[in-house]
Amino acid sequence: MSRKSIRPLIFLNAGLLVALAAVTFMPAAVAQLRPRSTYTMVGGTINGIVQGVAYITDETTNEVVAVSWYENQKRLVGLGYRNMTQDAMQAARTR
């Protein structure tokens, strides 16, 4: 190999080394600020609704949502939402 063909390879390797150093020493990115949630789902019924209802609880945020599957519309319909932390605080104030 001649000196003329080695010089571009040296510059390329130096550029790649600089890019690697830049990526290595950059601050880390944080994608999520809260831990992963844990969910619990329980089946049940509501008076006046033929379909069953699924109650889904997010144990990390203490939120509950009730959903039902409507077969004729082929869609999942939200029936209600509650924040259990707010409900507990309100119940403690009324005592």
Identify the pLDDT of residue 28: 75
Q: The domain containing residue 49 runs over which residues?
A: 3-93
Identify the pLDDT of residue 55: 95
Per-residue pLDDT tens for 8-20? 899 999 999 999 9
Per-residue pLDDT tens for 26-43? 887 766 666 778 899 999
Burial 40-71 (b: 16+ CB within 10 A, else e): eeeeeeeeeeeeebbbebeeeeebbebebeee
- What is the pTM (predicted TM-score) of this model? 0.58
Identify the pLDDT of residue 31: 66
Total tally of structural domains belonging to the chain: 1
